[in-house]
Amino acid sequence: MIKALLLMLVLGGLVGLVLGIASIKFHVEPDHREEELLGMLPGYNCGGCGYPGCSGMAAALADGSGDVDRCKPSKPDVKAAIKQYLKDHPKEA
Domain that holds residue 44: 33-88
Give domain status of residue 93, yes or no: no
CA distance 79 to 31: 20
Tell me: the pLDDT tens digits for 37-73?
999 999 998 888 999 999 999 999 999 899 999 999 9
Model confidence, pTM: 0.69
Q: What's residue 30's pLDDT?
A: 81
Q: Are residues 58 and 80 in the same domain?
A: yes
Q: Are residues 50 and 77 in the same domain?
A: yes
The answer on pLDDT for 93 being more than 70 is no
Tell me: the pLDDT tens digits for 25-40?
999 888 889 999 999 9
Q: Are residues 44 and 80 in the same domain?
A: yes
Nearest CA to 62 out of 79, 38, 29 is that of 38
Q: Are residues 76 and 38 in the same domain?
A: yes
Q: Are residues 58 and 13 in the same domain?
A: no
